[in-house]
Amino acid sequence: MSFVVRGIDTEEVERIRQGAADANGQRALVRVAEGVANPCRHCLDLIAEGDDKLVLSYRPFASVQPYAETGPIFLHARSCTRYESDRLPAWFDFLDPAIVRGYDTSDWIRYDTGTVVAGPQIDATCRQILADASVAYVHVRSKFNCFQCRVDRG
C-alpha cells in the first residue's frame, strides 16, 4: 500500500497570504514563531523560531457539513514549497501521540479507524487504514486535534 502525503493547496495558501478570509471569515494573524512546534501545513516543515508565521482557522474539507471540523493551523508567512511525497515528514516521529483516522467519500469520520499512536507508528497506521478500500483518505492530527496533513492512496 503506497500513499501520498500533500500539504494544503498552494493557491489557497497564497490567497491567505494575500489577506483572504480564513475559515472563520477573518484575516490570518501574523505572529513570530516561538519554540520548535510550529508546523507549516503547506511545506509540512517546521517554521524556524523567530520567523513570521500566519495563524488562522482552517477547514480541511471541500464543503461545510457536520463532520467538517475547523481548527487552528500555522503557515509560513513567506513563500514555501508545497509538500508532496510518498513518505511522511521525518519530524512526524515527534508527534507524540498523534491522532490518525480515516474518512469516507462523504468526508464523514470513519469511527472504526480512529486511533491515537506514537509518532513512529503513524506511517504503518496510515497504510493499515488505507488498506480498507471504503476509506477515502486519512487525516494525521496532533494530540490537540490540530490538522497536520491529509494522506491519500498513492
Beta carbon nearer to Zn ion, 40 or 149: 40
Measured distance CA(60)–CA(68) in Å, rounded: 7
Distance of CA 103 to the CA centre of its chain: 14
Beta carbon nearer to Zn ion, 23 or 33: 33
Which SS3 state, helix, strand or coil, does residue 57 take? strand
Least gap, CB of 58 to Zn ion (angstroms): 14
Q: Name the DSSP letter for residue 44.
A: -
Least gap, CB of 132 to Zn ion (angstroms): 31
Nearest-5° Cα angle at 46, 45 to 48: 130
Q: Percentage helix, strand, coil, to 5, in the chain?
A: 15, 35, 50
Under 8 Å between Cβ of 129 and 113: yes
Beta carbon nearer to Zn ion, 42 or 150: 42
Kindly report whether the peptide bond that precedes residue 97 is cis, defined as omega within 30 degrees of 0.
yes
Compute φ and ψ for 70, nearest 5 degrees: -120, 140
Beta carbon nearer to Zn ion, 3 or 74: 74
Q: Which residues bind Zn ion (CB under 5 A)?
A: 40, 42-43, 76, 80
Least gap, CB of 85 to Zn ion (angstroms): 14
Least gap, CB of 82 to Zn ion (angstroms): 8
Least gap, CB of 91 to Zn ion (angstroms): 13
